[in-house]
Amino acid sequence: MTEEAAKPTTFTHREIMVTMSGLVVAMLLAMLDNMIVAPALPTIVGDLSGLDHLAWVTTGYILASTVATPIWGKLGDLLGRRITFLSSIVIFLIGSALCGMSQNMGELVGFRALQGLGAGGLMVGVMSVLADIVPPRDRAKYQGVMMAVMPVAMIGGPLVGGFITDNLNWRWAFYVNLPLGVVALGVCWFVLAKLPRGAGDVRIDWLGTALLTTWITTLVLITTWGGSRYDWSSPTILGLLAVTVAAFVAFVTVERRAAEPIMPLAVFANRNFTLAGVLSLIVGFAMFGGITLLPQFQQYVQGSSATNSGLLLMPMMIAAMVVSLAGGQLITRTGHYKALPIIGTILMTIGLALFATMGTDTSRLVTGAYMAVLGAGMGCLMQTTMLIAQNSAPLNAIGAATGAATFLRNMGGSLGVSLLSTLYTNTLLDSLADSTGGTASSAGGSAAGMTPAALRALPESVQHAFAQAVTDGIGAAFTWGAIAAATGIVVALFIRQIPLRGHTDAPKPATEPAPVTV
């Protein structure tokens, strides 16, 4: 990349706000999708008879976006943010239309993956564009606004998704993306025009991309199939494990030698970047896992409609929004951020542990209080981890660094959804089999097509048995989620308080440690 391409372009406050209008629309487009789909999942799974594939409706999306994220980040560095950003919107919209037309779970999972390919470009594009136009010291307040959009989408998404599921058809949970996407395309076409062009020397690390796709996919297959479809010691799981390790080792080797690596490993030489990346992974694990499973408890156990289950997620989203905005202002005024990851991981661990204690008699008020705790932890972490990662990378690698950090968060989401959903499903089926005197296989057959509406039409004894099974599954899933989040507390303690770059600061090499302030 040329020296000129690495220099930041100066934007006025007005230009920043105009550009952010396009970013807000795109962020809404990316975030609304998962939030709209979450309350519709119980109905979708029942309608398409796909309880065994519950995790893959979300995992297919997150997995594809995870793999695509570093690719979009690198393409943005090489070709420029505008063209890659607009392309990702188009791919996302095509995937949305096809998801709405799905006739079985296989098609839905495949088209969700296509959606995810576009979504990966949306998320990394928003953060990379923001990094292009605002220096780190001032970025916190703008990034706080962008991160606040995420909870807004999380609040509005479940409400819209629940209303669509109750009053229209779950397919409109995907079709609703189309008009918003057209608006995003139009706005971004104009507001991103001033962004600097890429270096023009397009060299894509296709081998690295293939190896990355391989080890991520096989790892998610292990976490999804291990202990459920196949024994952990089965030849299939052991074979997937061997492929994962071999592909990962080959990926690291290739990336060290590639002229334009899809994921520049040099940024991981910076301790703060690596620690922020690990925290991003934990945030993704807890956030996506929680949002996927909570509507199951609300609809099957607490008897909420899809609309109400979306409404009941509001405490978590509002807490995340308020804390994110407050944290952004605090960082902008003081330049200090070290305390936020520590507080955030503690709150997230407490929130997940509280979810693990829920029973069939847990009230919605109590559940809402637990959600607020988890949301506050998410608000402390979402923007702070990205800010630390971006501040730890040189300016000419912002896109790739943002892509790597987003990749780790999405990978955490993939593993969280697959592991927690598999644990939830297995525990649910075992509990249901115990209560009915049957087998897990027979319980799976009866549960596969169970929608909340169908459950309410069954005898009270069956409703109670199913509600208890769902509660057991939720408890097991969130217990392990809390254990995973607790490791983040230790990680956060090792983050150093390093000065945030300002307008005039020169970029530091990724391998050169920045000075430490006390």
Pairwise CA distance, residues 424 & 54, whole Å = 10
Beta strands in 152-192 (DSSP E): none
Q: Which residue has the higher pLDDT, 491 or 137?
A: 491
Distance of CA 41 to the CA centre of its chain: 17
Q: Is the pLDDT of residue 35 over 90?
A: no
What count of Cα atoms within 13 Å lies in the side-chain half-sphere of residue 73? 32
Report pLDDT for 248: 92
For 236-263, how does the pLDDT look when each residue is reduced to its tens digit (9 = 90+)? 889 999 999 999 999 999 888 887 777 7
* Backbone Cα Rg of the chain: 22
Q: Which residue has the higher pLDDT, 31 or 275?
A: 275
Report pLDDT for 351: 92
Report pLDDT for 245: 94
Q: Which residue has the higher pLDDT, 195 or 434?
A: 434
- Averaged pLDDT, 455-470: 81
Q: Is the pLDDT of residue 485 over 60?
A: yes
Q: Is the pLDDT of residue 133 over 70?
A: yes
Q: Is the pLDDT of residue 40 over 50?
A: yes
The answer to whether the CB of 51 falls within 8 A of the CB of 425 is: yes
Q: Per-residue confidence at 150, pLDDT binned at 50, 70, 90?
A: low
The answer to whether the CB of 338 falls within 8 A of the CB of 491 is: no
Q: Is the pLDDT of residue 272 over 50?
A: yes
Report pLDDT for 357: 92
Name the most confidently modeled range: 191-205, 264-278, 365-379, 388-402: 365-379
- Averaged pLDDT, 41-45: 72
The answer to whether the CB of 375 falls within 8 A of the CB of 151 is: yes
The answer to whether the CB of 38 falls within 8 A of the CB of 292 is: yes
3-state secondary structure of 117: helix
Report pLDDT for 192: 74
* DSSP letters for 274-286: HHHHHHHHHHHHH
How many H-runs (helices) and E-runs (strands) does the chain carry? 19, 0
Count CB-CB contacts under 10 A for residue 333: 10
Q: Give the start-to-end residue ranges of the domains of the chain.
A: 3-196+269-493, 205-259
Pairwise CA distance, residues 158 & 313, whole Å = 8
Q: Cα dihedral angle (329, 331, 335, 336), rounded to 10 degrees? A: 140
Assigned CATH topology for domain 3-196+269-493: Growth Hormone; Chain: A; (1.20.1250)
Which range among 236-245, 297-306, 388-397, 454-463 shows the weakest confidence by mean pLDDT? Answer: 388-397
3-state secondary structure of 400: helix
Report pLDDT for 22: 74
Q: Per-residue confidence at 469, pLDDT binned at 50, 70, 90?
A: confident
